[in-house]
Amino acid sequence: MPLTEKELLQRDAKRNIGDELLQAIRDVKAGAYGAVHQVELTEAAAARSKTGLSQPQFAELLGVSVRTLQEWEQGRRTPSGAARSLLHIAAARPDVFREVLQSRTA
């Protein structure tokens, strides 16, 4: 059950953030820190990363909305058909995507 705003303020009033930060630094130096997780990139995120383009630029070149691209990158949706083919091309030849974008803005 989430705390109310009043409960959060009461809790935070008793905290010493400086001491908490120093303790966190000591913990990290001692190797006592939270679990480290590796997050695998989706095909869409990996392809866009190789091109070096922003989400709006990449989405425009693919002919999809930024929201759709975000859904693909976060693994909530899977691209199909032509979009999947374009992602393969972007991953294999990111230079082509950058050239296309430059020719559109020139």
Q: What is the pLDDT of residues 22-80, one digit of tens each?
A: 998 998 899 887 777 788 899 999 999 999 999 999 999 999 999 999 999 999 999 99
C-alpha 61, offset from chain centre: 19
Contact 46, 87 (CB under 8 A): no
Spatial distance between the Cα atoms of 87 and 82, rounded to a whole number of angstroms: 9
Domains and CATH numbers, the chain: 43-105 (1.10.260)
Read out DSSP for 53-84?
Answer: --HHHHHHHHTS-HHHHHHHHTTSS---HHHH
Give this prediction's pTM: 0.63
pLDDT tens digit sequence for 70-95:
999 999 999 999 999 999 999 999 99
Q: Are the C-beta atoms of 70 and 55 separated by less than 8 Å?
A: yes
